[in-house]
Amino acid sequence: MEWTGEGLIIGVRRHGESSLIVEAMVPGRGRCLGLVRGGRTRKQSAFLQPGNSAQLVWRARLEDHLGQFTVEVTRARAAEIIADRPRLYLSQLLSDHLRLLPERDPHDGLLGQVIDLMERERSEPDLGAALARFELYLLEELGFGLDLYSCAATGVDTDLTHVSPKSGRAVSAEAAQPYLDRLLRLPAFLIDDVEPGADDLAAAFALTGHFLDRHVWTPRQIEPPPTRDWLISRLSGTLAHT
């Protein structure tokens, strides 16, 4: 078995005395792992870093084997990422999110958004909004998408201000009034083309965090990514620039 494709490296771990297992997201193939023999040498370890894109050749005797990677870097971002703390935390968070996906299950839309988040220059509030939308999309791709476009109680599609923490469905302002202490706030920028404020970003991440925890982190008995809280505080403007 053999295939070739350009992928994004999202993880690297040691294997034996001199090798590495490289984890990459590959268009049309999803999250794939492969052994790189001699990957811990100074020459190879310098470019086998999360955040870099690489041309990959995967070979194995059988399709369900781990297989081996031959790797040639095509876009080296790692050095730039490591030198920029917010960008480093963003890269780590995105890699942690992609690692939630089943192995070898294509999610090209998510991969495209990750590359865009890593590459495009944005203000920090704009980056925060894009990251919140990415987490919504991640939930959808994992099978836990939210219905944010009509009211669960009345069916109306206007003045939607809250979300049920149980059903994941939107609730209109009028229908939400008796239950405000039980509902999650729905920031307008998640459903309309409007600029978010700091409170909106905080509410958006509270919303996505609630459903990621309910459907993914807690059922799988894993902790939320440690970089997420710091990054959210930074992008929503509540953390000093350090």
Tens-digit pLDDT profile for residues 79-129? 999 999 999 999 999 999 999 999 999 999 999 999 999 999 999 999 999
- pLDDT of the residue at 225: 96
Residue with tokens 């991440």: 205
The band of 42, judged by pLDDT with boundaries at 50, 70 and 90, is confident
Indicate the angle between helix axes 228-235 and 198-212, nearest 10 degrees.
160
Residue 103: the pLDDT is 96
- Model confidence pLDDT, tens digit, residues 155-203: 999 999 999 999 999 999 999 999 999 999 999 999 999 999 999 999 9
**What token pair was written down for 134?**
């990415």
Band of the pLDDT at 77, cuts 50, 70, 90? very high
Amino acid found at 78: A
Query: Which is more confidently placed, 5 or 242?
Result: 5
- Kindly indicate the confidence band of residue 239, based on its pLDDT and cuts at 50, 70 and 90: low
pLDDT at 240 > cutoff 60: no
- Each residue of 195-236: pLDDT tens digit? 999 999 999 999 999 999 999 999 999 999 999 999 999 998
pLDDT tier for residue 241 given thresholds of 50, 70 and 90: low
In 3-state terms, what secondary structure has residue 2? strand
Q: pLDDT value at position 144? A: 98
Reported pTM: 0.94
pLDDT at 190: 97
Token representation of residue 140? 């959808």
Which of left, alpha, beta for 28 (phi over 0: left; psi -120 to 50: alpha)?
Answer: left
Query: Where along the chain do its domains lie?
Result: 2-77, 121-235
Q: Is the domain defined by 2-77 classed in CATH 3.40.50.170?
A: no
1-29 residue pLDDT tens: 999 999 999 999 999 888 999 999 999 99
Tens-digit pLDDT profile for residues 45-72? 889 999 999 999 999 988 888 999 999 9
Q: Judge whether 52 and 33 are in contact, CB under 8 Å.
A: no
